[in-house]
Amino acid sequence: MAEQEHEHVRVAVIGSGFGGLGAAVRLRREGITDFVVLERAGSVGGTWRDNSYPGCACDVPSHLYSFSFAPNPDWPRTFSGQEHIREYLEHVADTFRLRPHIRLDSEVEQLRWDNEKLWWEIDTAKGTLTADVVVSATGPLSDPKTPDIAGIDTFPGKVFHSARWDHDYDLRGKRVAMIGTGASAIQIVPAIQKEAGRLTLFQRTPPWVMPRADRAISNAERWLHRQLPFTTQARRGLLWGIRELQVQAFTKHPDELGMVERLAKRNMHRAVKDPELRAKLTPDYRIGCKRILLSNTYYPALAQPNVDVVASGLSEIRGNTLIASDGTEAEVDAIVFGTGFHVTDMPIADRVIGADGDTLMQSWKNGMKALRGATAAGFPNFMTVIGPNTGLGNSSMILMIEAQLNYLADYMRQLHVLGGRVALNPRETAVTGWNNRVQDRMKRTVWNTGGCNSWYLDANGVNTTVWPGTTTEFRHATRHVDVGEYEVVRAPAPAAPTTRTKKKAKVNAA
């Protein structure tokens, strides 16, 4: 039976958010045009397409939350909203001529490494293809996480996650429950508080909230950035530099964050006059242990008469009645889950089958780990953008993405130099050594010592999410691929003919 032929590409990129589009641009700049971008949805944008909830915006300044190779002089605000960031990503796809490479509605269902052919076989919703190299840029904030609450299946009202907002459902006059107090929740609460008849916030852990220095960027500023591009670069550089100087307080000297805590408390006291409500909203852990949130409207919204704060997590649902862990009850018409994402257990890992027949999820059963945050032992020519321990607690993830794109570019160069059908498989010793160094540095950080239980930690309490250093350090660590950290794998040589075969061949030739 003839072997079925599939489309083959040099590189397959999974996802079309910042990581996926960035990888596509970098490949083109390296002269590689034989690639596809596999996107499960019907348009590009990643998390900035999926998260369209009321009030959705970025908590990183606009000029820092954009590619260095695609500056945008026309950001309308210092902290941009979801619609402007999504528009920016569409612009990147057009400007760098990525559309012909993008396959929409092509969710990746499984990837299998072929040890003989040294390529990945990729099953998608639209068929199968093969690729020499796979770049997974699905992102850690792509698959919503909803807690398993007793009785949720019997709730008669409306239920949805913040990342899957139902815009057809009218919240006006409704009794709404907001579950969670993370970065999405503190934007949603002020946005829907005026519409809801009653809003009940179920708060398992209060966040630290600092003022948000957001404002419209003037026409004069935008004109200046368009006419003199170096002013955009200078603005970006200043924003970056300030955050680089802050890193030591998070990674080496958490006690220095006490002053920041006092500023956050002052921010709360200005808006919340009720001592009982203040007590509910005051965290009992060091600021920075969880991500510091930015808002000027969250506390004022919570102080409104139509808002109730339940200082306990949701534990059970009986009909329309929601019951908190402390026994507090609330009758609601709709439930909005702002409960985060599968960060330390990324679903894509369960779809990737490596050289030994194990999935990446199985390989990571004791915790995610990857060499320089990018490659995992047993998974040749497979690279993750925003992989283990590449997250940030105080700066822009675009900086980390671009550092990993440098690593991708050199990875492709090394494969080209090696020549032929070849793959690079990270050595287990290299992956373990890198991970041990990262985790050793993590011990003194505020994320490990601050006394909180955050989404940075996996099921074993290990921080597999955040990078314990500056973006400069990470960029230096990912500038080049050290081939010594990899096993060079070549396709098996064809078997030498036996003596009998050689003799037969000679007779036939005669």
pLDDT at res. 497: 54
Chain segment 70-125, per-residue pLDDT in tens: 999 999 999 999 999 999 999 999 999 999 999 999 999 999 999 999 999 999 99
How far is the C-alpha of 374 from the C-alpha of 339, rounded, in Å? 27
Assess contact for 471 and 478: CB atoms under 8 A. no
Find out whether 421 and 490 touch, Cβ atoms under 8 Å.
yes
Per-residue confidence (pLDDT) for residue 147, from 0 to 100: 93
User: What's residue 506's pLDDT?
Assistant: 37
Q: What is the pLDDT of residue 508?
A: 36
> What integer pLDDT is reported at residue 504 of this predicted model?
37
Q: What is the pLDDT of residue 496?
A: 56
pLDDT at 2: 42
Contacts of residue 294, defined as CB under 8 A and 6 or more positions apart, other chains included, come to 59, 79, 209, 210, 211, 212
Question: Residues 95, 18: contact at Cβ < 8 Å?
Answer: no
Q: Are strands 7-14 and 127-136 parallel, antiparallel or unpaired?
A: parallel
Q: Give me the pLDDT at residue 75, please.
A: 97
CA angle (149, 153, 158) in 5-degree steps: 95
3-state secondary structure of 88: helix
Among 370, 6, 324, 384, CA closest to 177: 324
DSSP state, residue 57: B
Q: Which residue has the tokens 């991708």?
A: 408
Which pLDDT value is given to residue 491? 83
Whole-number pLDDT of residue 379: 98
Give the pLDDT of residue 6.
82
Which of the residues in the chain have pLDDT under 50? 1-2, 498-510
Tell me the pLDDT tens digit for each residue of 395-431: 999 999 999 999 999 999 999 999 999 999 999 999 9
Q: Which residues pair with 352 in a beta bridge?
A: 111
pTM over 0.85: yes
Q: Phi and psi at residue 273, in whole multiples of 5°?
A: -90, -20
Task: For residue 165, give Cα distances in angstroms to 51, 105, 111, 177, 406.
Answer: 7, 20, 30, 14, 35
DSSP label at residue 85:
H
Q: Which two tokens stand for residue 383?
A: 């690279």
DSSP state for residue 400 in the 8-state scheme: H
DSSP state at residue 143:
S
Which pLDDT score, from 0 to 100, does residue 5 have? 72
Residue 493: per-residue pLDDT: 66
